[in-house]
Chains A and B, each alone.
Chain A
Amino acid sequence: MTTYPTTWRRPPQIFTHRGWRIGLQLAALIYLVFAIGTLEVSWARIAEGGERGMRFLMGFLSPDFSSRWRDISQGLIESLTMTLTSTVVGVAISIPIGIGAARNVAPAWIYAICRSIIAISRALQEIIVAIFFVAMFGFGPFAGFLTLSFATIGFISKLLAEDIEDIDEAQAEAIRATGASWAQLINYAIQPQVMPRLIGLSLYRLDINFRESAVIGIVGAGGIGATLNTAIDRYEYDSAGAILLMIIALVMVAEYSSSYLRKFLQ
């Protein structure tokens, strides 16, 4: 009679070799000790922060919309207009770059140029770009508009280019067989295939740009972020709570309406 084991242990899932597993766990432990060791925490300051934290929480629970309403509405208007204009301009610039960055419709040298534009736009973070644009163009929503447009280019062009590379070649072949020029090829074979997705991406980017517009204000590029920064600097936690609640609400509205519209369009 064969004897079956009475207990069973689940075999390891990712690292099957015992030495590797122990070594990795040990390395993680040593790192953690080091990392937490270099962490300088002043407990006195944190204890003091407890009271402020409570005040902020109270501010969040009883938000004060009215006393700074002028600043808040100004910030919101800036954020919303910035979001729309930068998305429109960003998408308009992205379309030629996206076409240029698709290997199946662009010659090699244009492909290289467009891909490097995309790489630059994606590598630089919004906030860093915003610092430079504020230094160049002065404070205010215009710098924010430029920042968001710049960031939109990298995002939309890359996804559009990938979409164009993934199209159904048979349709392009059919249009080419009729003797169509390059412009006609783009217009009749490529554009109908990628248009629904391009609109979807633009709506998604509109949503992202609104979120970002709340952030770049911190470095002076206008929008609701600047208002929030001021409110926190003045320790007006009830106004800050009101602004945060409005940001959360607007982001939720933007996210749900953009996902609904995308579903409706596709």
Chain B
Amino acid sequence: MSDFPASWQFRSPKARLALWFGWLCLVALFVWCWQVMNERTIWMFVQDAPKQAADIGGRMWPPRWSYLGELMVPLWDTLNMATLGTLLGVILAVPVAFMAARNTSPFPLILRPIALFIIVASRSINSLIWALLLVAILGPGLLAGIIAIGLRSIGFIGKLLYEGIEETDIRQVEAITATGASQAQVLNYAIVPQILPAFWGITVFRWDINIRESAILGLVGAGGLGLKLQNSLNTLAWPQVTLILLVILATVVLSEWVSAKVRAAII
């Protein structure tokens, strides 16, 4: 009779020890970070938080519905900011995507790294930071918001689009090339039809995200609903804040629904 072990264990003792050591390191790092982070935290304020929350909550309800009329123009501005920003982003992102894709880049050695850097730089800076910069440069207003949204969209659309271009079917490209088509014709008849559905999907998806972002860009002065939010917060008009948040929430839910419908229809 062979002797089976009385109990079964998943890992060897050595692996278990390493695993425990890993967890220990994580916990130690967490505790250390916690200490550093909270060096200057005033715990009295933290203890006071439930009271503050109840206070703000009490002031916020009921929302001031009569303010709704004043919100219509900012809402229109917000929608425009998102749409025009997406448009700008698309116009800038398409050439970048074609330069970044391995199979369509004209001079891969030089242009690819540049295009990839543009994509990474645009992706790593949030649109709120773009807006902060552009408001300082161009002055407050919708234009700064539109450009901020556009610049942030380049990275997103560019990245997804260039991945789409790299995944296109090579056989269709070869078939078009075999007819004696020029480089531009190959792009137009072999690559574009293959990525067009993906392109519209990405654009609508980004438009939906941009609606979300443009609603708050006003916090740094770029116009739209965020500007009203900032004004209401500064004057401590909490019932107006509630209403603005409800309008933002409704817009976001609606745009998400529209984008989901459109993408389901395309793809």
Contacts and interface: CB of A to CB of B under 8 A. Distances in A.
Chain B associates with chain A: yes
A36 to B, nearest CB: 7
Given A39-B143, A45-B138, A225 B37 contact: no
The secondary-structure label for the interface of chain B is: helix
Contacts, number: 141
A88 B30 contact: yes
A229 B220 CA distance: 10
A248 B216 contact: no
Interface in B113-136: 120-121, 123-126, 128-129, 132-133, 136
Interface in B235-261: 245, 248-249, 252-253
Contacts of A145: 37
Nearest to B120: A252
A243 to B, nearest CB: 9
B124 A82 contact: no
B137 A52 contact: yes
B1 interface: no
Given A127-B219, A140-B41, A215 B129 contact: yes
B52 A84 contact: no
A251 B132 CA distance: 19
Interface stretch (A64-72, A102-110, A129-137, A168-176): A129-137
A128 B216 CA distance: 8
Contact of B121 (A31, A53, A225, A248): A248
Interface string B26-54: 10011001101110111001100100110
A189 interface: no
A235 B124 CA distance: 22
A162 B42 CA distance: 39
Contacts of B220: 218
Contacts of B233: 131
Nearest to B193: A13
Contact of B139 (A31, A45, A142, A229): A45
B187 interface: no
B200 interface: yes
A17 B224 CA distance: 36
Contacts of A10: 189, 193
Interface residues of A, number: 58
Interface string A44-74: 0110110011001000000000000000000
A154 interface: no
Contacts of B45: 137-138
Contacts of A53: 137-138
Interface stretch (B75-83, B96-104, B165-173): B75-83
B250 to A, nearest CB: 11
Nearest to A212: B126
A173 B252 CA distance: 41
Contact of A142 (B37, B77, B216): B37
Contacts of A38: 76-77, 80
Contacts of A78: 37
A41 B142 CA distance: 8
A140 B43 CA distance: 11
Interface string A225-266: 100110010010000100010011001100100000000000
Contact of B124 (A31, A48, A131, A252): A252
A85 B38 CA distance: 11
Contacts of A48: 139
B171 to A, nearest CB: 18
A49 B133 CA distance: 11
A29 to B, nearest CB: 13
17 contacts: A13-B196, A31-B83, A35-B84, A38-B76, A45-B141, A46-B139, A85-B30, A88-B30, A125-B212, A136-B49, A138-B41, A138-B45, A215-B128, A228-B129, A228-B132, A247-B125, A251-B123
Closest 3 CB pairs of A and B: A251-B124, A138-B45, A81-B33
